């Protein structure tokens, strides 16, 4: 029998699996399941991306690229951080990876020894926790106030020990859409400086913001923390390039150098055509990025307007990303489609069974009692889903 490592057997399968497997079963039975579960844009990548990819193929750019990625793209990302945030980075403080996720892993691997601790603020993208666990380090989860989905600086301060190395920060947040207040972000930066920690600042949704909300880079709020912040960004969300697998890491040179060493022994430089495509997207696709963000705004207006009229749900309208994260604890104890709702998982099962809507339980994001709906889908699909949800809540008894 193949003996799998302890490290790997310790990993939890994504809690999203229960719902997605059930949704696939129902589809196989011919049922018309609406998916509000996917965390990816429904847009095809913009023309600037496609054109650059075609040109790269024609030019024969089919060779290995450097382990840190194409110099041209690293320079363009550094330039982007200059124009977007006024931050001065050079190309050797930037690396390109095969998506945001592998870069998060490389960052954790570069910073954590076995037994070290990483602070993760709930609700959170669940891969943070599993990556930390995989490295024999300890995730320390900070609960947030369910009313505001804000964390308390005192809780972070109390969680810091001699073994703490990392604070994971993600705004606009997946799943909550929250952009944390300036005071909280400044407070985190101060704690990072005081205790010599690294903030891994996952800002992959920074271009998708609503109602004039402003996403501010932590280093605009606290420039002194520059040596303590690593930004994770990428092409997946803003440029609708999930399948191309391109992410960016921007931060202290030595950290980037070490992460690059690891990448060199693992994936090597990312896919060459995808890097040229991303370069085209950054150079010529800025209007498309804004146009897609405007579409998400319309969808967000539609879904929040409909949800606002429904009973049982409590949620804070998202300030960014493309998710609604709603508190459904008021439905506990009710029954529908023969399913008694006892927690967020049974809520999502009932929603799938009765309303044929696939959504993700909050426990998949370390925040039980909630569920996440993605509105990265057409207004027509959203409207149908909301009709079904109205009927679902009416059927609750």
Residues that bind ligand PLP (CB under 6 A): 39, 99-101, 125, 170, 174, 202, 204, 234, 236, 242, 247
What are all long-range contacts of 85-93, with beta carbons under 8 Å and residues at least 24 apart? 85/217, 85/219, 85/220, 86/220, 87/217, 87/219, 87/220, 89/250, 92/68, 92/253, 92/256, 92/257, 93/250, 93/251, 93/252, 93/253, 93/256
Please identify, using beta-carbon distances, which residue of 133 and 306 lies nearer to ligand PLP. Answer: 133
What are all long-range contacts of 225-228, with beta carbons under 8 Å and residues at least 24 apart? 225/189, 225/190, 225/192, 225/193, 225/199, 226/252, 227/252, 228/189, 228/192, 228/193, 228/196, 228/197, 228/198, 228/199
Spatial separation of the C-alpha atoms in residues 90 and 76, rounded to whole Å = 10
Shortest distance, CB of residue 180 to ligand PLP, whole angstroms?
A: 14
Shortest distance, CB of residue 73 to ligand PLP, whole angstroms?
A: 15
Which residue's entry shows tokens 């390109």?
Answer: 96
Shortest distance, CB of residue 18 to ligand PLP, whole angstroms?
A: 18
Shortest distance, CB of residue 186 to ligand PLP, whole angstroms?
A: 21
Q: How far is CA 264 from the centre of its chain?
A: 25
What residue is closest to ligand PLP based on CB?
99
Please identify, using beta-carbon distances, which residue of 178 and 228 lies nearer to ligand PLP. Answer: 178
Q: Per-residue DSSP letters for 71-99?
A: HHHHHHHHHHHHHHH-----GGGEEEESS
Please identify, using beta-carbon distances, which residue of 124 and 189 lies nearer to ligand PLP. Answer: 124
Shortest distance, CB of residue 337 to ligand PLP, whole angstroms?
A: 29
Please identify, using beta-carbon distances, which residue of 204 and 385 lies nearer to ligand PLP. Answer: 204
Please identify, using beta-carbon distances, which residue of 174 and 263 lies nearer to ligand PLP. Answer: 174
Shortest distance, CB of residue 58 to ligand PLP, whole angstroms?
A: 26
Please identify, using beta-carbon distances, which residue of 204 and 256 lies nearer to ligand PLP. Answer: 204
């Amino acid at each position: 029998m193949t003996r799998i490592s302890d490290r790997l057997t310790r990993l939890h399968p994504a809690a999203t699996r229960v719902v997605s497997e059930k949704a696939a079963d129902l589809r196989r039975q011919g049922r018309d399941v609406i998916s509000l579960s996917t965390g990816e844009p429904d847009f095809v990548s913009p023309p600037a991306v496609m054109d650059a990819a075609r040109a790269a193929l024609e030019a024969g750019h089919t060779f290995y690229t450097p382990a840190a990625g194409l110099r041209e793209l690293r320079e363009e990302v550094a330039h982007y951080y200059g124009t977007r945030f006024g931050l001065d980075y050079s190309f050797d403080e930037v690396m390109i990876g095969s998506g945001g996720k592998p870069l998060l892993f490389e960052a954790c691997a570069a910073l954590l020894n076995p037994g070290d601790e990483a602070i993760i603020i709930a609700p959170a993208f669940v891969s943070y926790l599993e990556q930390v666990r995989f490295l024999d380090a300890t995730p320390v989860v900070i609960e947030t106030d369910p009313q505001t989905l804000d964390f308390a600086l005192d809780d972070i301060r109390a969680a810091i020990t001699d073994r703490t190395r990392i604070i994971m920060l993600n705004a606009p947040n997946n799943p909550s859409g929250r952009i944390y207040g300036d005071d909280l972000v400044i407070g985190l930066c101060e704690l990072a400086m005081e205790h010599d920690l690294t903030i891994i600042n996952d800002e992959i949704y920074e271009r998708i913001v609503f109602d004039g909300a402003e996403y501010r880079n932590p280093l605009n709020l606290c420039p002194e923390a520059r040596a303590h912040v690593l930004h994770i960004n990428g092409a997946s969300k803003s440029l609708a390039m999930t399948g191309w697998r391109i992410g960016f890491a921007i931060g202290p040179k030595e950290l980037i150098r070490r992460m690059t060493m690891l990448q060199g022994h693992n994936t090597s430089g990312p896919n060459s055509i995808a890097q040229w495509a991303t370069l085209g997207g950054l150079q010529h696709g800025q209007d498309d990025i804004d146009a897609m963000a405007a579409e998400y705004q319309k969808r967000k207006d539609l879904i929040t307007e409909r949800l606002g009229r429904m009973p049982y749900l409590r949620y804070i309208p998202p300030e960014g990303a493309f998710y609604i994260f709603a508190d459904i604890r008021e439905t506990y104890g009710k029954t529908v489609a023969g399913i008694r709702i006892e927690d967020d998982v049974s809520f999502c099962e009932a929603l799938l069974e009765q309303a044929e809507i696939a959504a993700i339980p909050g426990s998949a994001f370390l925040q039980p009692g909630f569920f996440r709906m993605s509105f990265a889908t057409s207004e027509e699909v959203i409207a149908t889903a909301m009709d079904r949800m109205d009927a679902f809540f009416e059927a609750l008894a």
